[in-house]
Structure 1
């Protein structure tokens, strides 16, 4: 009985130690990330931290590719996750604010690759976070087809200046 108690205590102790070390490691990393103050993040924070600025993400979908509903859903998922990951690297406080406000995402459509790329360039010119998805071409569409562009999270009024004319998907 005593040996069993010792092994249980040993396993528990190791588990606690590993949890502590993992928490310490990730806690330090998060602390370092939170204390990073790049000029780029400061500019973004100044732009979005006014109470009047709501945040959203727009998913611009190419309608001319005639993708099925499932394909559109998957491509939008890739774009949203990619934009989220990009923004977490550059503007983590912006992502936290967007998360806290409900993580609004809106899907709109364009009728050509040219229109999609024009919107992409306009978003980049305004220094908005973007993620442009190219499909691998294994199922419904040709390889390297540009399918969906995610813009944001970013202030709604800035995104609307670029995509406000587009119709909902």
Structure 2
């Protein structure tokens, strides 16, 4: 009797795994289709209407299954922040970059959302290197958000801790951050 119960349990578990696989596969196909359906209507908004120089950030139009979108969080390693502090600072950066992208690069934001909202954490060893990455990203008209800490816990007030770059095309971001090591 115990063997039959075990066999029935194994069959049920196997069916559950198969159903989960097919549901996940179907969901992945739908997400892939969403990546291909990015709005290709040109923006008619001028820089002045969108807020001046800040709106100069490119809102390129992307479409197709081969496009990959991400946000990169560049973390200062020299500050020796704890894991929780890094997580909090990266969260501030991701939220800040998202908020800026809502008005500056809405089509890129939608593309990133439709393709899974990938976020990658990399490291730099100094404030100077962090600022160099920021300048390079801005020269390529990528969305950025620089986070400064309030200094209430582990590090000095006004320390530049994290730079969020994107969301944008992975290829565009990699031109600026591709050489950096993962955190």
| TM superposition score normalised by structure 2 | 0.68
Structure 1 ranges of 4+ moved more than 2 A: 34-37, 39-43, 48-53
Q: How do 1:16-165 residues align onto structure 2 when only pairs under 5 Å count? A: 37-39=44-46, 44-46=59-61, 48-49=62-63, 51-165=65-179
Assess, with a 3 A threshold, how the Cα gap between structure 1 residues 36 and 166 changes in structure 2: closer, same or farther: closer
Q: CA deviation at 1:102?
A: 0.2
CA contact under 8 A between 1:57 and 1:106: conserved in structure 2? yes
- C-alpha separation in 2, matches of 1:132 and 1:89: 17
Aligned to 2:31: none
Unaligned runs of 5+ in 2: 1-40, 47-54
CA contact under 8 A between 2:72 and 2:122: conserved in structure 1? yes
- C-alpha separation in 1, matches of 2:168 and 2:60: 10
Structure showing the higher helix proportion among its residues: 1
CA deviations on 1:25-57 (whole Å, 9 max, x unpaired) are xxxxxxxxx9973256995233x3355331100
**Aligned residue pairs, count:** 135
Unaligned runs of 5+ in 1: 1-33
